[in-house]
Amino acid sequence: MIADLHIHSRFSRACSKSITIPNLEKWAKIKGIDLLGTGDFTHPEWIKELKENLTEEEGIFKTKTGFPFLLQSEISLIYSHNNKGRKVHLVLLAPNFDTVDQMTEELLKRGRVDYDGRPIFGINAIEFTELMKNISDDIEIIPAHVWTPWFGLFGSMSGFDSVEECFEDQAKHIHALETGMSSDPEMNWRLSKLDKYNLVSFSDSHSFWPWRLGREATIFDTKMNYKDIIKAIRAGDGLKGTIEVDPSYGKYHYDGHRNCNVWMSPEQTTKHNNVCPKCGKAMTIGVLYRVNELADREEGFRPEQAKDFKKLIPLHELISSVYGIKQLASKKLFEIYNSLIKEFKNEFNVLLNVKEQDLENVVSEKLAKIIIMNREQKIKIRPGYDGVYGELLLEGDYKEEKYQPKQKTLNGF
């Protein structure tokens, strides 16, 4: 079961206004996602749509055609802790609409939920967790994209050095951490204090397009019900691993200063005293630097209980790089993409399973080769920094001058 349990609705800031339940269902199927988070269940308009269109079966909420969703939202906590300003994002999972209504009612005592699908509250993570657990122990709280500079639990701008520092006596209710795009399990394994937490990965998607939806996901081997999924998140049994993008592709992997087009490795940043050499201002310190700062293990260490994971760049990004098509939603790019989906059912099947020879029957030899290189994690990437995504660095041999549709033969290809 491939699950993406951290997305947003059209009621969150900087999100597509075309996010609807039908669009989410359509593109989740095309991507190959088996279970999708609803996003933004605290927003009054979105929860109304969810209640009108989804029917509950064992804590899973299904559309009329049977596609499953799990009630999910994200909260932003901005507060002061030990005389330091903190900004922490948390993913919330809930078992039913009644519990969601109670959660929202409690939050309304402390602020508004109607202005943004990811509302902001000035309470600390300790108080927030206690409030939620007083409503129901079935509510799951997962620190979101834990390493991102601005809103991650370990973020360089306002984060903590441990889960316990953030949650104090409520840390007992935290069972899993979301790796985020700029980190992967290998990076998290370098901190021995994280061994007791399960690692999950979700997309934090702001649209329904397949280059965003499911770009990161978690693989479960459980029955399709809330109880077993939460048990897997908490205890690890039934949690098989994650699908991650290469962390270099994430927007905050390296350190840098976007306005000056400057990016640096942690070693280079240290030599420059964390200051941009062009303008003299402080750079945004990325995830890799922060991991190095807190790590007590060398690179390459793998804990005994560690789950497997796969690193994949979305298919649209691969096609874009091979053919030099800048617009991911362009007609030409979708023509290539759709030819693969038509033949091989969904994107995850293309990225994970289809043989190179079979791919070559549908698309060019060069694109087929890149898909396999992606599967084998052999594509070089210029790391992302300060809000700028990483860039795929394909050698000239893997660049196509233009797209040529495959000609059908008598065998159907």
pLDDT given at position 408: 34
pLDDT given at position 401: 44
The CATH code belonging to domain 2-248 is 3.20.20.140
pLDDT given at position 396: 61
pLDDT given at position 397: 52
What residues contact residue 219 under an 8 Å CB cut-off, 6+ apart? 1, 2, 3, 239, 240, 241, 242, 243
pLDDT given at position 34: 98
Separation CA 228–CA 89 (nearest Å): 25
* Secondary structure E strands in 209-340: 217-220, 239-244, 255-257, 262-264, 308-311
Q: Which residues of the chain have pLDDT under 70?
A: 396-413
- Phi and psi (nearest 5°) for 178? -90, 125
pLDDT given at position 169: 98
pLDDT given at position 409: 28
Of 33, 29, 30, 8, nearest to 19 (Cα)?
8
HSE-up of 191 (CA within 13 Å, CB side)? 25
HSE-up of 192 (CA within 13 Å, CB side)? 3
Each domain of the chain, given as residue ranges in start order, spans: 2-248, 314-378
Count the neighbouring beta carbons within 10 Å of the beta carbon of residue 213: 25
pLDDT given at position 395: 74
Does the global pTM surpass 0.75?
Answer: yes
pLDDT given at position 399: 54
